Amino acid sequence: MADVTADRPKGHPPQVLLLYYSYTGQSAKVLEAAGEVFRERGCEVHSAPIEFTDPRYAERFSRFPMRSVWPDFLGMLPAQTLRKTGDIRTPDEVRNGDYDLICIGSPTWWRTVSMPLRTFLTSHEARHLLEDKPFAVFVVCRRYWRENLTAVRKLAEKKGGRYRGEIHFGYPGGQLRSMLSLTSYLGTGEYRDRSLGLRIPTTNVSREQLEETRRFSAKLADRIFGKETRTTEPSPVEPS
């Protein structure tokens, strides 16, 4: 049975919120792909990017590429290890909507939830948004995704949210080469073939992963809203 179809007023489209923090745009890209599917199903889709405003850290994330990639990149490690929170700004969509599904896009910073998203998920505002609402988690990660995904789920459930699914993506290249690929991209804003003399793969979310996102989102829409919103048949391939 669908989560919300029976309770939705006739003629009122399902409301979906895409909630995320995204510095390089990868989490935003994944949620945009999901949003395309929900719009095709007749949903009204709203975006809620979180802005990182903390004076201790925000300046390094105010531009892309990073000015000093290794100091900026490594400088977040202590705060991330201690699961610190900071200052953020959220758009009106977080406060003003009544949503039938909340999709949470979570980039992985040093194996866990990024400070901006953790800050929101521990806030009173998150309680107002998530209380008794279905949510799904979309994790973008260089290598280690599990701690991030688990933490997002626990934090959202602590605020009253009802977990309905997850999907996660990693970048190719193993531990060393994926790190060099990411830091090369963060420092230059370009895809390069080599870093520190080593051949490196392309970093970031791939076209195939965006297609996987669309398949996952189609099945999620069936579960949450019912198949009567379907306009196209989803692929039978299960997401990893």
Assigned domain for 86 exists: yes
Amino acid identity of 127? Answer: R
Q: What is the predicted pLDDT for the residue at 179?
A: 93
pLDDT tens-place string over residues 40-80? 999 999 999 999 999 999 999 999 999 999 999 999 999 99
The structural domain count of the chain equals: 1
Model pLDDT for residues 194-207, shown as the tens digit of each residue: 998 999 999 999 99
* Host domain of residue 138: 5-174+209-220
The answer as to whether 227 is a domain residue is: no
Question: Is position 51 within any domain?
Answer: yes
Mean pLDDT of 86-90: 98
- For 182, what's the count of Cα atoms within 13 Å in the CB-facing half-sphere? 26
pTM above 0.85, yes or no: yes
Specify the pLDDT at position 26: 96
The CATH number for 128's domain is 3.40.50.360
Give the tens place of pLDDT for each residue, 123-149: 999 999 999 999 999 999 998 999 999
Task: Give residue 76's identity as a one-letter amino acid code.
Answer: M
**What 3-state class would DSSP assign to 44?**
strand
Residue 169 lies in a domain: yes
β-pair partners for 101: 16
Eight-class DSSP state of 202: -
With tokens 């949620």, the residue in question is 31
Residue 168 lies in a domain: yes
Residue 236 pLDDT greater than 60, yes or no = no
Q: Are 47 and 93 in contact (CB under 8 A)?
A: yes
Q: What is the model's pLDDT at position 227? A: 76
